[in-house]
Structure 1
Amino acid sequence: MAVIETVLLLLLAVVVSGAVARMTRIALPLVQIALGALVVLITGHTIDLKPDIFFLLFLPPLLFLDGWRIPKEALFRDRAIILELALGLVLFTVVGLGFLIWWMIPEMPLPVAFALAAILSPTDPIAVQAIAARVPIPKRLMHILEGESMLNDATGLTCMRIAVLAATTGAFSIGNAVGTFAWLALAGVVVGILMTLAISLAKNVISRKWGEDVGAQILVSLLIPFAAYLAAEELHASGILAAVAAGITMSFTERGQTQQLATTRIRRAVVWDTVQFAANGVIFVILGEQMPSILARAAEVVRGTSRPEVWWLAVYVFAIVAALAALRFIWVWTSLKMTLLRRRQDAPPPRVGLRLTMVMSMAGVRGAITLAGILTLPFVLADGSEMPSRNLAIFLAAGVIIVSLVLATLVLPGLMRNIELPPEPSHQQEEDRSRVAAAEAALQAIEDKAHALSEGKPDPDIYTDIAARLMALYRQRIETRTRTDEDDVNVSRRLDEIERQLRLTGLRAERDELGRLMRAREIDSDTGKKLVREVDLQELRFL
């Protein structure tokens, strides 16, 4: 019963954290960590999750959602720098930081040091978004960070898995490591793709033949990442890469599919937003909730090393944070120089400013994935003995998360003000062409349907009048989107914006009045909810 109460308190802390962060202007992850520590003070005990259960509960849905929602065009456009950051930087960090940790803490075995370095390499865009909430992040920069995070999660966790195997078995070879990495990566990606394609195909066949159940559709989308993860793990492949590949595949399988009910898409998006908020929040709250015990265990471990003073823990954390920043700065500067602003051979060389490099470097905040990964370190080795330095590694990872969050909170907003990147390509003409094509299709469909409905009816003029009224709206849309004069186009867009604002004002007034009628019991609550939902769905078109 106490565990259930603690879990409920953790969820309550996640709910409260959003309001506290808005009121105090403190980064959301830091607020959640503080509230987690407060939960310990209230309950007096912590939750000890088994590492594999913790991994399974939180990582598959978060990574699946990253792959599902990231803009694919942006991902492919900046694929060079994203791959360099997500693959090259991870390996660079694992090697450089791994040897540094081993040199600083000789009592920590080299495989454990590499495992710690591997799990510290992934970045967390959710934490960056929370930190930079007061300062708009340029879209291109955010897309690069999202793409990097999505792929370096998989790379870092896969490298960590190899290091853990070496730590538990005591055997390591380059050939085996490369072969293991190739199998983990390729098999994981294939499993994720095939699992999503199979489930999506079965779901679409059932929906076409027997109708669509909104609740079932949402539940299936929630189960796909777990199915991909568990299937890959059963084949000793990377469940993390399977979850990422499943998310990317999900976005492609749904591209162009319009048969799905609008209600399903709206409700599913809300459910997944809630899952993302809750999962990320609970991880940070758990970090705060476990910090006292992590610190106590780490203090015991460090007393048995060559530097027994507890303050050495802080030295280790700050040294690791500084090393991560230096490694990332070097790699980011090189990557930006070579790829971010790459142009034709005859074009002038790109100018990469120091400020842009610093922004990209400071944006490498560690977060939920690092904590979830480090807690999966096994407790024992293959021979049954205790995993050396496990508690110390967990403390160092937790300390790096907190320190990187605090530093980014203080420095990143100032660095990002007025930061300039190459402008995003305009999609306005593409949007206009699409709206015109959709309107023309609607005109033809309305005309055909009106003729079909009016055949043999005693009052065919009613169908013609209604169809003409609807077709006039679509013709107006075509006219405003096909003008060639730039001034006329700008005027049309300004008129559209004015219309949008007025429509939103009217819809909100409708909703307020419906609320008043329900409170006064002048309409039935079910009727009122139905009418409010209709207004909400209309409002979504103009937001």
Structure 2
Amino acid sequence: METFELILFLLTAVIASSILDKFLPPLSLPLVQIALGAALALAVPTPLEWGIDPELLLILFIAPLHFNESRHVDSGALWKNRWGIASLSVGLVFAIVAACGATLHALLPAVPLAAACALGGAMGSTDAVAVTALTHDRRFGRRHEALLKGEALFNDVTGTVVFQCCLTILATGSFSLLHAGEEFALDLFGGFFGGLVMGLLAWGLLQVLRRTGLDNPTLHVMLELLLPFVIYLAAKSLHIGAVIAVVTSGLMLSLLPQRHTAATARTKLQAQSVWTTLEFVLNGIIFVVLGMQLPRLLEPAAEGSLGDPATLLGVVVALTLVLEGVRFAWLLAMDVRAAAARGDGVRSCFAPEALRGTLAMALAGAKGGITLSLMLTLTASAALSAAGRATLVSIASGMIVLTLVLADFAVPALTPSKRSAKRTRDRVDAEIDLALGVIASIEADAHLTGAVKGAAVDAVDEPATVIVMHRYAEMLEDLAPAASPAAAARARAEVARVRGLYDQLDGIARRAARWDESEGDMEGEESPAAPSLSDQFHQMRETHDAVEDVQAQALVRELQLIKAMVADGAIDAAHAKDLRNDVYIQQLVLD
């Protein structure tokens, strides 16, 4: 019962955080969830206040989130930037380990150098959840975005291996480069090839099920949800990199050929809906859980049992600055090398705009779930005293919060929003022209579609056509405020015209009431016969069917107009793709 109550508690917290996020616009949703989790941990006792199993954190949250992200990442962009991603996933992690380890040991000599480097290894892993949230809303540029996503997916191996090697040094006092290399190769290459094999097997299983007639969307989605957990557990049993195996299998599934039929389209739409909901829930829970752990992890530092709280806070700030400084220097060096390879000139990397983008990318590498799960394993290490373990965990927790805060406030100030970039006047004007064209097209075809005859609908010749026209008019009304003055004027004029036609349909709903009034007022006169209830329902059903027919025809015309606008140069290929995707979704819903 306690577990069930905890699940309900966490789901309620996620819903509450989403509501609070609307009233706290300066804060991103992850920070709201962390703050809410911390507040709840202080106010309500839960089983999580005594800690959480790090392995459970990885398999329950990290595995499915990494799997879903890898299936939708741009594999072409990852391959194009493979050497840059390798540099961030290996070279940068070692640079962070050296810089953070040396800084922490210098500031707190009581902390062994190996333990300080273990903290650096944990800090080498960026949080894929936070990175995904940032890249979803901010425009970093195609190359920078690919580097960020690739780093978040693949750098866990390096940080984890370094962390484990440092713990081995603490426990035994010796270090074997050969053993460390074998461990790294087994985790990285073993996880990579194991993930390829398991991804291929999963794809084969799905194909067999389809060919045997078991192409049920619900069964397909359930198998997709189960795959990351099975792959993670299988990789752990084989002693290879579990997270890398999950990521690689997701990439494999996205690259292998898929059938494109109406049934697979419905399955994909249902799977996307389920994964979107699951991603929202898991993202929220992981940050709420992180927030619930913070009071317990930071309490010793706040109470002063680990020394002067101000000193520890200064250490957290100093280490965070070192971490972000190393990331910025490394990324700037990569940008300089990329500019030289393109022949653009090195000076372009030091322009204010370019430096802002590099700094934003450096700050976007926030720490989160994997860092916390690694640091929580220190509780099982006998090589450190209880005070030493508490000090390292408290410092790591403070750095996680500080990197998230920096990413939350600095990155939006340094990079433009994707939403604002997409809502340029040219794009809005083009969408207005498209909606106007669709309205004109379906109105011209009103004599062919949308006809509903009967006493209750005689006020308007083609009520179904007018209803669909009104739907597009509502789109025009939403677009007008962001359009140019000329386009906005055309949109508002069309909205007024269509609304006038639509208002005539009000008589349809009120006709039944007017029958009663006319019977009372027409004394001595023969009153018209009111339509029966069955007639009214029949006419309503005919109207509904006709509306669907007109809407389907309107979507076909919309696709034709999009193609024509691309040919005329009115919209670019990327904008056309977005518009077509919206049409395809509406067509699937109609089917």
Aligned with residue 259 of structure 2, among 254, 257, 260: 257
> Which ranges in structure 2 are unaligned for 5 or more consecutive residues?
419-551
Q: Does the residue aligned with 2:408 lie in a helix, a strand or coil?
A: helix
Structure 1 equivalent of residue 329 of structure 2: 330
For residue 134 of structure 1, report the CA deviation from its aligned partner. Answer: 7.0
Cα distance in 1 for residues equivalent to 2:241 and 2:588: 40
The answer as to whether partners of 1:162 and 1:180 remain within 8 angstroms in 2 is no
Structure 1 equivalent of residue 377 of structure 2: 376
Q: Deviations over 1:191-237 (max 9, x none)?
A: 11111211221221122113212222112212222222222221222
The answer as to whether partners of 1:342 and 1:350 remain within 8 angstroms in 2 is no
For residue 285 of structure 1, report the CA deviation from its aligned partner. Answer: 0.8
Q: Does the residue aligned with 1:171 lie in a helix, a strand or coil?
A: coil
Question: Normalised by the size of structure 2, how large is the TM-score?
Answer: 0.67
The answer as to whether partners of 1:167 and 1:381 remain within 8 angstroms in 2 is no
Q: 1:478 to 1:7 in 2, by over 3 A?
A: closer
Q: Deviations over 1:375-427 (max 9, x none)?
A: 33351348xx86773322222221111112222333222221499xxxxxxxx
The answer as to whether partners of 1:81 and 1:340 remain within 8 angstroms in 2 is no
Structure 2 equivalent of residue 364 of structure 1: 365
For residue 144 of structure 1, report the CA deviation from its aligned partner. Answer: 2.5
Structure 2 equivalent of residue 537 of structure 1: 588
Cα distance in 1 for residues equivalent to 2:90 and 2:145: 18
Paired residues in the alignment total 446
Structure 2 equivalent of residue 55 of structure 1: 58
Structure 2 equivalent of residue 450 of structure 1: none
Cα distance in 1 for residues equivalent to 2:590 and 2:28: 30
Q: 1:193 to 1:162 in 2, by over 3 A?
A: farther
Structure 1 equivalent of residue 240 of structure 2: 237
The answer as to whether partners of 1:46 and 1:289 remain within 8 angstroms in 2 is no
Alignment of 1:76-475 (within 5 A): 76-124=79-127, 126-128=129-131, 130=133, 136-253=139-256, 255-258=257-260, 261-298=264-301, 303=305, 308-339=307-338, 342-343=341-342, 348-349=345-346, 351-353=348-350, 354-381=355-382, 389-417=388-416
Structure 2 equivalent of residue 19 of structure 1: 19
Give the superposed CA RMSD.
3.6
Aligned with residue 568 of structure 2, among 486, 489, 494: 489
The answer as to whether partners of 2:63 and 2:246 remain within 8 angstroms in 1 is yes
Structure 2 equivalent of residue 526 of structure 1: none
Q: Highest CA radius of gyration, 1 or 2? A: 2
The one-letter code sitting in structure 1 at the alignment partner of 2:221 is I
Cα distance in 2 for residues equivalent to 1:352 and 1:417: 18
For residue 80 of structure 1, report the CA deviation from its aligned partner. Answer: 3.0
The answer as to whether partners of 2:127 and 2:370 remain within 8 angstroms in 1 is yes
For residue 32 of structure 1, report the CA deviation from its aligned partner. Answer: 0.4
The one-letter code sitting in structure 2 at the alignment partner of 1:87 is V
The answer as to whether partners of 1:78 and 1:340 remain within 8 angstroms in 2 is no
The one-letter code sitting in structure 1 at the alignment partner of 2:38 is A
Q: 1:340 to 1:222 in 2, by over 3 A?
A: farther
> Which ranges in structure 1 are unaligned for 5 or more consecutive residues?
420-469, 508-533
Alignment of 1:23-34 (within 5 A): 23-25=23-25, 26-34=27-35
For residue 335 of structure 1, report the CA deviation from its aligned partner. Answer: 0.7
Structure 1 equivalent of residue 489 of structure 2: none
Q: 1:340 to 1:145 in 2, by over 3 A?
A: farther
The answer as to whether partners of 1:132 and 1:409 remain within 8 angstroms in 2 is no
Cα distance in 1 for residues equivalent to 2:378 and 2:571: 60
Q: Does the residue aligned with 2:240 lie in a helix, a strand or coil?
A: coil
Q: 1:162 to 1:251 in 2, by over 3 A?
A: farther
Structure 1, 144-153 or 105-114: larger mean CA deviation? 105-114
Q: Deviations over 1:333-357 (max 9, x none)?
A: 111100267315xx65561033232
The one-letter code sitting in structure 2 at the alignment partner of 1:31 is V
Q: 1:269 to 1:400 in 2, by over 3 A?
A: same
Among all aligned residue pairs of Structure 1 and Structure 2, give the percentage whose two residues are the same amino acid. Answer: 30
Cα distance in 1 for residues equivalent to 2:28 and 2:558: 46
The one-letter code sitting in structure 2 at the alignment partner of 1:339 is A
